[in-house]
Structures are given as C-alpha cells and as structure tokens.
Amino acid sequence: MTNRFQIYVLLVAFALLLILPFIGSRYSVELATQILIFGLLATSLNILVGYLGAASFGHAAFFAIGGYACAYFLTTLGWPLVVSMIGAVLLTALASLVIGFFCVRLNEIYFSMLTLAFSMLVWAVALKWKPVTGGDDGFVGVAVPEYLSNYFTFFLFTLGVVTISMIVLMIIGNSTMGRVFIAIRENQTRASFLGVNVRRMRLIAFVIAGTFAGIAGTLLALYVRGMYPETAFWSQSGHILIMVLLGGMHAFIGPFLGASALTLLEVTIGQYTEYWQVFVGVILVIVVLAAPEGIFGLVRSVTKRLGGQKDDDA
Amino acid sequence: MFTNPTFMFIQVMNSFALGMNLFIIAAGLTLIFGVLRVVNFAHGAFYMVGAYVLMTMTNLIGDTNTGFFLGVLAAALTMGIIAFFIERFLLSHLYDKEHLLQLLFTFALVLIFKDLVKMIWGPLQHSISYPPAFKGAVDLKISYYPAYMLFLSVVGPVLAIGLWLALEKTRWGRLIRAARLDREMLSALGTDVKLVFSAVFVFGSMLAAMGGALAAPRIAVDPGMDGLIIIDCFIIVIIGGLGSLWGSFVGALILASLTVFGTLIFNEWEIVLVYIMMLTVLLIRPWGLFGHPDEERH
C-alpha cells in the first residue's frame, strides 16, 4: 500500500511542515499541529480498516485513554513528560490488548458493534469517574511543561513524535506482517489455510492500531491542555473513519490526507457558517457513493489516465 | 426502599413504559437490519426528526388531542417520505458494497440531519406538553400513575402484536420474511425485492419517527437527543438478536429495567452497567437471545 510516489509526498510534506513555523502565522502552525495529531490517529485506524479490513467503530476509545492517562500522569501524579507519555502509551497498549482480545473474535458488523460498545464503555467511565477524569467538565488544565508551552516548540515536538510514529507504521505496513494483514483482508479462510493464525494476527493489528491512537491521544491532551469525555463518544470514532475513507484507505498516506482535508474543510466552512457538519455529511455521501477509494484513489486514476507511473500497490 | 410495595410497583411500571417507548424505535432498526443487512446509525436522527415534527404540529394546531395525534401521524409520514428518497436514490446503491461504506453512509446522514434540525428548529431545548387525554394521573388502586406512561404501556404491546401479525399472516409479511432469509431466491421467484427493501426501510424509519414523537412529551427535545438513543437501540437489538422482532421487545424491557433499577442501585454508574451487559451478550451470544447463529453470522 506504499509506493515511491507516496514516500515522495510524505517527504515533501515533512519538509514543508519543517519550515512552516519559521514562515507561517501562529494560527497556521496550530492548525498544522492539529492536522498532525489527527493524521496519526487516522493512519493508526487504517491498520485495522485498510490493511486488516476490520471496520472498528470504537477507535476513539484508545485516543481518549491515551489522552486521559497522559493528563492524569502529568498533572495529578506530577510525573515528568517523557515518563507520562510512555506510561500513557503503555497503558493504551494494554487496554487495546484486553479489548482486542475480545473484539477479534467477531467479524464484520459484530466487530463494529463490539468496538462501538467498548468505546461507549470508555466514554461512560470518563464521564462518571470524576476523581480521575473530571467527569462531565472534563480534565481541565493539563500541566504542560514550560518548554512545550509555546506553540512553536510544541509544533516541532508534535512533528517529531508524529514523524517517528508514521515511519514505524509505514515499516509495519510494508513488513511481512503488514502483508499478512492484507492477506487476511482479502480472504480470511485462505490466509488461515496458509498457516496464518488469523485471530492472533488480528489481535496484533488491533494492539498496534490502539497503541498509535494512544500516542495521538497524549499529543491531543498536551495540545488542548485538557481532555473531554466526547473524545471517546461514538461520533468521534465516526469522524476518524471519515478521515480514513476520505483520503483513501488502500494507500498508506490516504488517511493522513483525509485528516488534513477534513480538518481544513471544517475550519474553512466554519468561518462562514456554524453548520459545517451538513457539508461534511454531503461530501461523505458523495465519497461513499462515487469515490470509495477517496482522494488518493482519485489522484491515482488521474495519473493513470495521464499515462503516469506504473501502479505497484498491493 | 425496595421493601416498599408502592415504590416498587411504580418502578416496575416505569420500566415497562420506558421499555415500550424504546421498543417502538428499536423495532424499526431491527426490521431494517433483518432485511437490508444495514445497521442504520441515522435511526436516532430519524427519531429526533419525529419529535420535532410533532412539536411543529402541536405549535400549529395547539396542544389539543387532535394536534398531538395528528403530530404523531405527521412525524411518521414526513419521515417515511424522506426515507423513501434516501433509500431509492442513495442507500439502494450500497447494498452490495462492503458494510463499512454502508455504516459511513448512515453516519453521513447523522451529520446532515443534525445540522438540518438545527437550521430548521434552532439549537434550543424545547419541552412538549402531554396530550390533554393523557394528562394527569390514573388511580391504579396501589398508587396513582401518570396516564401518558400507561398510554405508552398499551401502545407498545399493541404495536408488537400488530407487527407480528403483519409479518406472520399477510402477504407483505411473508415477502419480508423471505427477503430476510434469501433475497436472491425471492428475486428469482419473481418478487420485486427492491420494492420490499424500499418498503421496509420506509416503514422502519417511520417507526423511529413515531417513537420520537411519542417520546417527545417525556423528554427534552433538543438537537443532541439522537446521540444516546441510537446506542440504546443498538443495545436492544443486540440483546434481542439483530433482526428479531420479539427479541427487540424483550431487549427493550431488559434495557429499561436495567436503566430504572440500575439507577436506584448503582446511582449514576448504571450507564456503565448497561454497556457491560451489551458487551457480555455480544461476547457470549453475538446473535442475541432470540437470533440464530447460522442465520445472523457471516
């Protein structure tokens, strides 16, 4: 699902982002920070959706767990930043192992429903466990360390964390394991005949996806300086899926593209009207019906028609 | 508290009335899933539209019995017409696509309807009065009980029996049951399956709107009311078995009792209990209490 073209796109994007804080406004830098966080989140979900072919409707749960855990470790327990982040990510990995253990037993619509139910459980706990999460009002006032408290350094920090995460995800996607995920997506029965332990591979994919969503969650907690129960609500999971679909789930960079497009779209439309959701909804209907391969699929068909490079995607 | 018979009586009655209101909505969802194999996230949005249409009608006609019951009818009809167009021009193109696309399509409807409702009716919360015929309380000897809740307790079972008879005894019911089992075969036998699908989606959506209209006097009507009802419906149809009518009837009663009694015992943690129950059923019997494993699992 990765080819040379995509790597070039990522390199150009990285270079542009690297110079952005030196030339761009504070607003654009903060917007880019947000895009990076959601781009990583969407890419992590795509391990399940695009590679493994399992439509999780509860990915927001891990985003929220990572964020809340980081906020709690950093603020309530007063741990140092690095320890808090690693602790939060490990906790999210553990949570995705436990939740995944149950979820990978089911397929198709039942998998979607089970992941949805787990994320609503996380939402309910975030809403009710007031001493830890702050309940309805959310976890307000995350103790962001001094050196990350201005938008400039925080952007570079986010860029670093997201870049490393994306590289790791890309390596995983291109590895034998990533190809096994695709084999399971294409034909679960045949994959198992070839000696693949389907359930275990599904669990591994689930944990990878959950863990990287947790990383995105820790960044969100630091960026917003708070965490709110809505982060785990089912509509949030839907939004992550929109990003994946919008960009194109069968390309590694698709979800990142989708996250950027959706965030920019929301911000742009939001300047003119408060009713941006209806626009997103209509665009989503069009994508679902007419372009299920997303933006990247459109780009690919255009380049193909122009006699562009050979398509070497899985 | 639990030894007081009057108190317990009221709690049981409340569970039943709430359960019946939920059943009306969830029945539509389970019917749609059973035939179309589509999990409709927008079902909650349709419920919301129903409540708002009722509000408009009672504002137009006044808080009379006519206003209220015409409102319920208008809610169902309005949603039926909208659902017809959604199914015919959009959803019907997705039946043979992967279920992720279907899920995201219905999620798109959620976003669209949410904003449309805000545009048309505004972001504020509204309360709707009970129809005059069911205002006040009825003396049930053990205790007085709100008439409107009794009304819901009657409507639910009547609707359940009506739906069941319609499914079992009429030609349309037979077609729907056949479409549920084997749509290719039904189509090969000369039935217009597209029409059956269309009818089921329209009818299921009408049930959502009717459930919303009937719930309106009981709850606060606002643009966020679709968010949790859809999860309640999912819980119900999963407990009962996706596609099973009586399953959703029992599921609705279980969820309502758990909500009412769970709140008494576990205070606000009741909501966690509900999700744990949904998870347990999904893990032990994903096809639900009244579903069949071979039929429902892919």
pLDDT for A77-87, tens place per residue?
Answer: 989 999 999 99
Phi-psi region of B267 (alpha: psi -120 to 50; beta: other; left: phi over 0): left
DSSP string computed for A137-163: G-EE-----GGG-SHHHHHHHHHHHHH
The length of chain B in residues reads 298
The pLDDT tens digits for A50-101 are: 999 899 999 999 999 999 999 999 999 989 999 999 999 999 999 999 999 9
The pLDDT tens digits for A203-215 are: 999 999 999 999 9
Mutate to test the interface with B, among A278, A279, A286, A293 (most CBs of B within 10 A): A278
Rounded to a whole number, what is the distance in Å from the CA of B296 to chain A's nearest CA? 10
pLDDT category of residue B53 using cuts at 50, 70 and 90: very high
Rounded to a whole number, what is the distance in Å from the CA of A186 to chain B's nearest CA? 12
User: What pLDDT is stored for residue A75 in this prediction?
Assistant: 92
Domain boundaries, chain A: 4-233
Q: Residue B184 pLDDT more than 90?
A: no
Highest mean pLDDT among A301-305, B76-80, B127-131, B227-231: B76-80
Give the Cα separation of A188 and A53 in Å (integer): 10
Mutate to test the interface with A, among B100, B113, B276 (most CBs of A within 10 A): B100
The pTM of the full predicted model, rounded to 2 decimals, is: 0.90
Closest CA to B238 of A104, A106, A229: A106
The pLDDT tens digits for B55-66 are: 999 999 988 999
Closest CA to B231 of B191, B271, B177: B271
DSSP A228: -
The pLDDT tens digits for B198-255 are: 999 999 999 999 999 999 999 999 998 998 899 999 999 988 888 888 999 999 999 9
The answer to whether the beta carbons of residues B100 and A55 sit under 8 Å apart is yes
At residue A226, the 3 state secondary structure works out as: strand
Give the Cα separation of B100 and B119 in Å (integer): 29
Quick check: ipTM above 0.85?
yes
Rounded to a whole number, what is the distance in Å from the CA of B67 to chain A's nearest CA? 31
User: What pLDDT is stored for residue A229 in this prediction?
Assistant: 93
Q: How far apart are the first and last CA of chain B?
A: 47
The length of chain A in residues reads 314
Q: Residue A301 pLDDT more than 80?
A: yes
Residue ranges of E strands in chain A:
139-140, 226-227
DSSP A231: G
Diameter over CA atoms, chain B = 61
B176 or A242, which is more confident? Answer: A242
Closest CA to A62 of A291, A271, A240: A240
Does the distance separating the beta carbons of A242 and B279 come in below 8 Å? no
Does the distance separating the beta carbons of B298 and A120 come in below 8 Å? no
The answer to whether the beta carbons of residues B14 and B149 sit under 8 Å apart is yes
User: What pLDDT is stored for residue B69 in this prediction?
Assistant: 93
Place of tokens 């819980």: B235
Give the Cα separation of B230 and A116 in Å (integer): 12
The mean pLDDT value of chain A amounts to 90
Q: Residue B43 pLDDT more than 90?
A: yes
Other Cβ atoms within 10 Å of B278 Cβ, number = 26
Exposure string for A218-254, b = 16+ CB within 10 A, e = fewer = bbbbbbbbbbbbebbbbbbbbbbbbbbbbbbbbbbbb
Exposure string for A156-171, b = 16+ CB within 10 A, e = fewer = bbbbebbbebbeebbe
Give the mean pLDDT of B266-271: 80
Q: Residue A22 pLDDT more than 80?
A: yes
The pLDDT tens digits for A257-269 are: 999 999 999 999 9
A240 or B179, which is more confident? Answer: A240
Q: What are phi and psi of B221, to 5 degrees?
A: -95, 115
Query: Which H or E run contains B98?
Result: none
pLDDT category of residue A103 using cuts at 50, 70 and 90: very high
Mutate to test the interface with A, among B112, B116, B235 (most CBs of A within 10 A): B112
Q: Residue B1 pLDDT more than 80?
A: no
Does the distance separating the beta carbons of B112 and A277 come in below 8 Å? yes
Q: Residue B296 pLDDT more than 70?
A: no
